Amino acid sequence: MKSSKKTAAALLAVMTALSCAACGSKDSGSDSASSSMPEKKLEESQQDIVDRLAGEMTARELANPEIEWFSHYDINPTASEDKEIGVDLALFQTKYNGKIKYVSTTWDTYFDDLASLVMSNTSPDFIGADDMNVFPKGAIKGMIDPIDDYIDFNDPLWADMKTVCDQFVYEGKHYCGISRVDPSYVFVYNKNVVADLGMEDPAELWKNGEWNWDTFSDMCIEFTDAEADKYALDGWYYENALLESTGLPLIGMQDGKITNNLEDPLLAKAENMMYELQKNGVVYPKHDHDWKVRGDVFGTGIASGLTLFYPIGLWGIEDAPSVTAPYGDLSAGEVMFVPVPCSADSDAQYVPSRIHGFCICRGAKNPEGVAAWLDCTRYAETDEAAHNITIEQYKNDYGWTDEMLDMREEIYSMAAEHPVFEFATGLSTDISNLTDNIIKKTMNPQETDTWTSIVETNKAALDYMLQEAQEKMS
């Protein structure tokens, strides 16, 4: 995806939105519908677990085992030959002979294309909620339907997710079937690079209770050397990650009401820390490179020692070796990650989070089939043996070390306990563009500004937009 020269603020907003497309897979770039089934199969011992679970789980009566998935990426594991099939899809295939038909769109035209399909009574069956950009606007604009007729939150399978799903309620109805809470970001680094520099391993700092804004900032400043083209941070997510580590999003949702935390002292504390950090030039100057990350590929610079930390979702390294190579050799123990650091005096380890879930499209032809798929996604999370299949895939096929797997489990546990959800992208593009500019301005390498000035400049516009959004919801 190419970008033209625009103002720095507008570019940051646009490019951040575009980069989120990578959270699932590659942009399909096609408006045509296609159907494909993955060639990959589970190992025999793993399939035995799925067969056992399929026999134990309560079945739904399906008139049609095929459901249509609408997205800019294919939910079937066809992106690369060494990409494994997920347990949820294997279970859906085994229990129901289920099939997922891919109806493709692009990141840019996603909602326009979906609206056209809904209005023409040719709706797909379901869409993903992982990018946090569907709710509540999808419900307000009539593009998604409630799930309450299909999911019983008193059922033991779903009871543990009710508290999270209750944050995605519009007019008293639930709109997202959420199978788990995911950490939005981790800080990925190369252990060899850190060791060669004589720095303490961030994972050890974490274990010792010493991984926080202070130690993180010290490492970033020590590492950065512009003359050697070495910058501590690259990517599109570090500002959001650090802001949400306060325990507050900029825009939240509570009891169906929009909350605006722009003037909260916790956010000011985080943004002032980021401002001081950027004064030391720690961020890769994307504005000097056509607003692209180094090499135009996520992770570039980590293995080569030109970038210290890559704040990104776990999806960045939960992939095939062909994709994760820029970070280093996972199987050789080179790659590691830590939670987003919090303030040293934080009352908890807050985890910037997103949901792994799905929404039923308005006018879906097979909502019961989607409900069966949702059940499969929950069984894949709640059954220990099924969950371990995913762990085995990471270890045996993707090269994850035990240290990485232990850290992953720990971060997921913390995300379930102290998640922080940012809802701006789910309200409107105008709101998310504005909030993105607000959050990122103190670390904009081209035009850094103070938090006090940012709040004064943007408060009136943000208040107006949020009041308008709340009125639409009411």
- Give the lowest-confidence range in 104-108, 192-196, 317-321, 354-358: 317-321
CA dihedral 57, 38, 145, 168 (to 10 degrees): 80
Q: Residue range 137-153: average pLDDT?
A: 95
Give a three-class secondary structure readout of the chain: CCCCCCCHHHHHHHHHHHHHHHHCCCCCCCCCEEECCCCCCCCHHHHHHHHHHHHHCCCCCCCCCEEEEEECCCCCCCCCCCCCCCHHHHHHHHHHCCEEEEEECCCCCHHHHHHHHHHCCCCCCEEECCCCCCCCHHHHCCCEECCCCCCCCCCHHHHCCHHHHCCCEECCEECCEEEEEEECCEEEEEHHHHHHCCCCCHHHHHHCCCCEHHHHHHHHHHHCEHHHCEEEECCCCHHHHHHHCCCCCCEEEECCEEEECCCCHHHHHHHHHHHHHHCCCCECCHHHCCCCCHHHCCCCCCCCCCEEEEEECHHHCCCCHHHHHHHCCHHHCCEEEECCCECCCCCCCCEEEEEEEEEEECCCCCHHHHHHHHHHHHHHHHCHHHHHHHHHHHHHCCCCCHHHHHHHHHHHHHHHHCEEECCHHHCCHHHHHHHHHHHHHHHCCCCCCCHHHHHHHHHHHHHHHHHHHHHHHC
Joined together, the tokens standing for residue 10 give 């507008």
pLDDT confidence of residue 19: 36
pLDDT confidence of residue 41: 79
pLDDT band at 422 (very low <50, low <70, confident <90, very high): very high
pLDDT at 37 over 80: no
pLDDT confidence of residue 472: 86
pLDDT at 32 over 50: no
CATH topology of domain 186-351+430-473: D-Maltodextrin-Binding Protein; domain 2 (3.40.190)
Q: How far is it, in rounded angstroms, from Cα 280 to Cα 276? A: 7
pLDDT digits (tens, 9 = 90+) for 389-412: 989 989 998 999 999 999 999 999
pLDDT digits (tens, 9 = 90+) for 444-469: 999 999 999 999 999 999 999 999 99
pLDDT confidence of residue 255: 79
pLDDT confidence of residue 36: 46
pLDDT digits (tens, 9 = 90+) for 209-257: 999 999 999 999 999 999 999 999 999 999 999 999 999 999 999 878 8
Domain(s) of CATH 3.40.190.10: residues in the chain:
24-183+355-421, 186-351+430-473
- Give the lowest-confidence range in 21-35, 122-136, 197-211, 433-447: 21-35
pLDDT confidence of residue 39: 54
pLDDT confidence of residue 83: 60
Q: Residue range 258-287: average pLDDT?
A: 97
pLDDT digits (tens, 9 = 90+) for 170-179: 999 999 999 9
pLDDT at 24 over 70: no
Could you tell me the CA-to-CA distances from 129 to 52, 142, 425 in Å, in that order? 29, 15, 11
pLDDT band at 8 (very low <50, low <70, confident <90, very high): very low
Architecture in CATH for domain 24-183+355-421: 3-Layer(aba) Sandwich (3.40)
Q: How does the average pLDDT of the chain come out, rounded?
A: 90
pLDDT digits (tens, 9 = 90+) for 149-166: 999 999 999 999 999 999
Of 432, 394, 382, 470, the closest CA to residue 131 belongs to 432
pLDDT band at 473 (very low <50, low <70, confident <90, very high): confident
